[in-house]
Structure 1
Amino acid sequence: MPMDKPYFLVLKDTQMGGLDLFMSQKQGINWSVPQNLGYPINTQDDQVALFITADGQKGYYSLEQDTGERYKKSKLVEITLPNSLQAKIQATTYLKGIVTDAKTQQKLSAELELVALKPSQTVGKFLSDAKTGQYISVLNTSGEYALFVNKQGYFFKSLHFDFSQTHALDKVLNISLEPIQKDAKEILNNIFFATNQWDLQPQSTTELDKLVVLLKSNPTLSVEISGHTDDVGKDADNLILSQKRAKEVMNYLVNKGIPSNKIKAEGYGETKPFVPNTSDENRKLNRRIEVKFL
């Protein structure tokens, strides 16, 4: 359970009687003193195993009642949580989508890895369904994420998104995987540079290391690493910057054991935009590193 969410537990209560549901919350490195959820959730009977729905509005628990015999009688109870309790519960948000073959649209079973970028750490690994291609994962905290998708015989896909819990909406990312073949290309969405700089930022290593694994598993293939910019600044400066960034990526791969004769680094400046340079969002998409199989 995420450490910033309420934690529900069952304790013996001396005032209301029986087993009651309590709530405790993380406070720094400690937990708060468990608080009885009170009536009408708790009564003189035993309440156990509270489950809260994803929207944080309803709850279900098992009501254990004495029968006067050897065994207790259990009943599933549905409740609408009091507003005071709903305010303390963060609604669950999901990352979900469908993985398909980019050429045939066939649904694919693929390995997915969700990585929080600041700091860089894996928060989940899961599979998409072989029949439907669907996947789903819980997004516990706000921040920047990378999603890596791998399947043997395909170029791995990397996606980057900034998730804000203030909107509490599910994030939907449908993913198309390109088969590994000549002229197949992919944008590396999790390669980061400072403005007008070509030094790789630390959070770029996760994606680059996955590219290293891919190239080592396909040793007969050669690749082109291409750098691209938006249209801000002088054409000549953008061309030089894109060349230096592509070369920096190539140097990383060579230092990780990829033969230099298998890699070609090219800079195209602003000459090959991915989308029109008509907005800040589009310009961000045009500042990119691409990999192409030769």
Structure 2
Amino acid sequence: MAKPSIFPVRDIRVYGEHDIFVTRRLDNTWQNWSEPENLGPMINTPSDDVFFSIPASGDYAYLSSTENSYGKEDIFRIRTTEAIKPEPVVIVSGSVLHSVTRKPVNAKIFAQVLQGEKDSIQTEYNPATGEYKFILPSKKLYGLNAAKEGFYPIAEELDLREEKRYRELRKNLLLIPIEAGAKITMNTVYFEQSQPEVDSSSFAELRRLVQIMKEHPTMTILMEGHTDNQGDFDANLVLSQQRVDHVKSYLVFKGISANRIVCKGYGSSRPLVSNYSEENRRKNRRVEFTILTK
């Protein structure tokens, strides 16, 4: 996480007894940091300046100083500059709920980067209420994951690649019980444009389905493929069938019997939403499966 680490350096005296410096983490390890830089006389006074803190929003910073204080040390708020602002983050919070009863579910939750380095980020979580909270660096594509025994582990896409500012987002995660008739959309299974093969970022969710089917050896599923309405209808029908057949091939390769998987491509005939916008068309380009027998 490329968040600034800002701290008082007590053995270097430049503007006062205790000055504030800034350094930034340069990679995903905790070993490589930029050269510490003094924040200068606009922040560091001739007195003690310590306990520098920046909230996630990054607009203001807080510190304790004895300079011009009414007590021994007072707390001051200053507006941050670009030089010391943290990388923008998005605070994502919500509840993990049973898809039918809407009651809280005590689940394991984590966020995973879907492209580039596959980092996993843990979260604050209240099992009594099902409430969770993530602080996620922007400019990345994430999958929000929730898992609980007896439920299909869910993964929902969260695209922060265009985010440039701090914001807060609320998103509830619905866990679907593993039972006959349950229908599950594979939210993080992707395909290249007009191609039947899954993208490499899809394998995490496909592995979850493999694991569930191995844990439930009598489970059979109907795998359904869908496209948006762009292009020729018949070509889309063929493409949707090719895509679910490709998913089936992966499951069989991983040890799932072929007779447990029925595949059907519907092309653009069953949209979830109107194909008016690219955002909606993306929702319609999907793979779903229905549990036929548990």
Indicate which of 54, 58, 61 corresponds to 2:60: 58
Q: In structure 1, how many angstroms separate the alpha carbons of the residues matched to 2:52 and 2:117?
A: 33
Amino acid at match of 2:180: K
Counterparts of 1:1-294 in structure 2, within 5 Å, are 2-3=1-2, 5-11=3-9, 12-25=11-24, 31-39=33-41, 41-62=43-64, 75=73, 77-84=74-81, 88-126=85-123, 128-163=125-160, 164-294=162-292
- Report the RMSD for the aligned CA atoms in angstroms: 2.6
Q: Give the direction of change, closer, same or farther, for the CA distance of 1:39–1:82 in structure 2 (3 Å limit).
A: farther
Question: How far off its partner does 1:229 sit?
Answer: 1.2
Q: What is the number of equivalent residue pairs in this alignment?
A: 284
Question: How far off its partner does 1:27 sit?
Answer: 6.7
Question: How far off its partner does 1:200 sit?
Answer: 1.5
**What are the superposed Cα offsets for residues 53-105 of structure 1, whole Å, 9 maximum, x if unpaired?**
2222333445589xxxxxxx974x43222443676334542121111111111
Question: How far off its partner does 1:42 sit?
Answer: 3.0
**What are the superposed Cα offsets for residues 124-152 of structure 1, whole Å, 9 maximum, x if unpaired?**
13464222211111111312111222111
Q: Give the direction of change, closer, same or farther, for the CA distance of 1:292–1:14 in structure 2 (3 Å limit).
A: same
Q: In structure 1, how many angstroms separate the alpha carbons of the residues matched to 2:267 and 2:214?
A: 29
Amino acid at match of 1:20: D
Q: In structure 2, how many angstroms separate the alpha carbons of the residues matched to 1:143 and 1:200?
A: 20
Q: In structure 2, how many angstroms separate the alpha carbons of the residues matched to 1:86 and 1:257?
A: 53
Question: How far off its partner does 1:226 sit?
Answer: 0.9
SS in 1 for 2:81: helix
Q: In structure 2, how many angstroms separate the alpha carbons of the residues matched to 1:120 and 1:263?
A: 32
Amino acid at match of 1:136: K
Q: In structure 2, how many angstroms separate the alpha carbons of the residues matched to 1:231 and 1:57?
A: 44
**Aligned residue number for residue 69 of structure 1:** none
Contact 1:114-1:146 at 8 Å conserved across structures: yes
SS in 2 for 1:289: strand
Contact 2:110-2:121 at 8 Å conserved across structures: yes
Q: In structure 1, how many angstroms separate the alpha carbons of the residues matched to 2:66 and 2:215?
A: 57
Contact 1:95-1:172 at 8 Å conserved across structures: yes
**What are the superposed Cα offsets for residues 221-269 of structure 1, whole Å, 9 maximum, x if unpaired?**
1111111112222222121111110010011011111111211111111
Moved more, 132-141 or 8-17: 8-17
Q: Give the direction of change, closer, same or farther, for the CA distance of 1:236–1:284 in structure 2 (3 Å limit).
A: same
Instruction: Name structure 2 gaps, 5 residues minimum.
Output: none
TM-score normalized by the length of structure 1: 0.86
Amino acid at match of 1:142: K
**What are the superposed Cα offsets for residues 16-42 of structure 1, whole Å, 9 maximum, x if unpaired?**
342221112357996444222244643
SS in 2 for 1:211: helix
Contact 1:48-1:64 at 8 Å conserved across structures: no
Q: In structure 2, how many angstroms separate the alpha carbons of the residues matched to 1:27 and 1:201?
A: 29
SS in 2 for 1:170: strand
Amino acid at match of 2:153: F
Instruction: Name structure 1 gaps, 5 residues minimum.
Output: 66-72
Q: In structure 1, how many angstroms separate the alpha carbons of the residues matched to 2:179 and 2:62?
A: 52
Amino acid at match of 2:151: Y
SS in 2 for 1:121: coil
